[in-house]
Structure 1
């Protein structure tokens, strides 16, 4: 009987010498298959993370200050939920809406130029309010009549579900150092997925051409600037910046300078 048990134990030991390495290789293959599946799921989810976030124009929008558009509604689109781990795609602002916003802001400056006495004594907040009136006159949110809001003293933004999908910093020109700080402040507001931003500069300097030259030189020297500028007008520049949190993540940054009238130029 003992000899039979000894034979069985010997045969099992032989099998262990073969089964052991096989089991270890099997573990590695299973882990590789699981990691590959996980990577594919993440790629599939990321493919729908940057969903277009369309603005809906107002049908009753006034045509006094801006080119005719149809008032659009912000409608975030999300993919259907699945039984897998929760994943919530983040909305982003689509390129067409971004360009529409910039066009409306630019058209508002024509009003300033044509009616200088009405804007000569206004400060940053007062001028910003005029932009907000025009923007909210042309666009509406999915849940309320106003899409564009502001925080602090200088921001114009679209906020959805607690995060910003468009943000602009409005500042009076006070030199290259303050301009660089404004860009830094704006980039600091952006999350990893935010790709649309603008810096709006109000200048009351006498030599506006010199201000524009300094703006371009300062933006070109910024450490996060990657490409540009593309000149989209006499005082509008389009850059590609890197997100400070991930320099490979690119941000469209438009810089628009306005020559705001005043009775006393410096």
Structure 2
């Protein structure tokens, strides 16, 4: 017996609508798309979400997506992750919006900062969903970003826990030839001492001579007065032995720095500090 949970749809957007349903005791989610050509792309995106167990394209009176939550997530929690992912997906074009091949790391300055801005916007959307991010540790935050990063270019792939140099970096974006274009680490905020360790970890373990554009993403889950934390993180970056210059802020929680490559001090590395308040 199939029954529909009668409730106001959790979200009505210009591009999609979600709806919670129930079969016997099992809840699932229906996703309706305005653009009927995007079902395959959206199925791929949603299949990679950590709250999702399986996604089917369903042919009824109209085509839709049927999404089954994973065992440790409720349908309501799955809807939250689905919505924030689809809001980000439809807010920008998923057809190679940025990544221009230029420079040693195969990515232009414009491309790098557009990726940074997309990460910032996606993370700020996550800040609205406390029930969702309360479940996340560093690995959970990383896994939350990966499907979205994979959706912003058809010629590039984002992977997690990927070997580079002598360690596994949290997020690695590579082009179709397997060349690195972007590296990022996801860290829970535990004080400015941890900021220094995060920089050391990236520069000494994961960054090769050819890697020029990287980011460190901090998630605050315990400390109030978020503005003070941002100031402390910026100060910690400036005190690092490889710091060269502070470029400026892209927004209040995204700040750009130039560091020296520890293996070749004459070679610069762009490091973006991106912070999210998940408390």
TM-score band by shorter chain is 0.5 to 0.7
Return the match for 1:151 from 161, 182, 203.
161
The residue number in structure 1 matching 2:151 is 137
More helix by share: 1
CA contact (8 A) 1:157 1:164 kept: yes
CA separation of 1:208/1:154 partners in 2, compared to 1, >3 Å: closer, same or farther? farther
> CA separation in 1, counterparts of 2:99 and 2:273?
27
The residue number in structure 2 matching 1:213 is 231
**Aligned ranges for residues 1-266 of structure 1 at < 5 Å?**
60=38, 64-65=87-88, 67-72=91-96, 91-141=105-155, 147-151=157-161, 155-159=170-174, 164-188=180-204, 189-204=206-221, 205-261=223-279
> CA separation in 2, counterparts of 1:76 and 1:235?
25
> CA separation in 1, counterparts of 2:87 and 2:135?
22
> CA separation in 2, counterparts of 1:206 and 1:91?
37
Higher gyration radius (CA): 1
Runs (4 or more) in structure 1 with deviation over 6 Å come to 73-78
SS of the aligned residue for 2:148 comes to helix
Q: Which has the higher contact order (CA 8 A, sep 6+)?
A: 1
Deviation string, structure 1 residues 19-62 (Cα, Å, up to 9, x no partner): xxxxxxxxxxxxxxxxxxxxxxxxxxxxxxxxxxxxxxxx9566
CA separation of 1:90/1:177 partners in 2, compared to 1, >3 Å: closer, same or farther? same
> CA separation in 2, counterparts of 1:91 and 1:76?
11
SS of the aligned residue for 2:181 comes to strand
CA contact (8 A) 2:124 2:276 kept: no
CA RMSD of aligned residues (A): 2.7
Deviation string, structure 1 residues 106-153 (Cα, Å, up to 9, x no partner): 1112222222222122211112111111111222336xxxx0001167
Q: CA deviation at 1:71?
A: 1.6
SS of the aligned residue for 2:115 comes to helix
Q: Could you list the runs of 5+ residues in structure 1 that have no partner in the other structure? A: 1-58, 79-88, 262-266
CA contact (8 A) 1:171 1:200 kept: yes
Q: CA deviation at 1:76?
A: 9.3
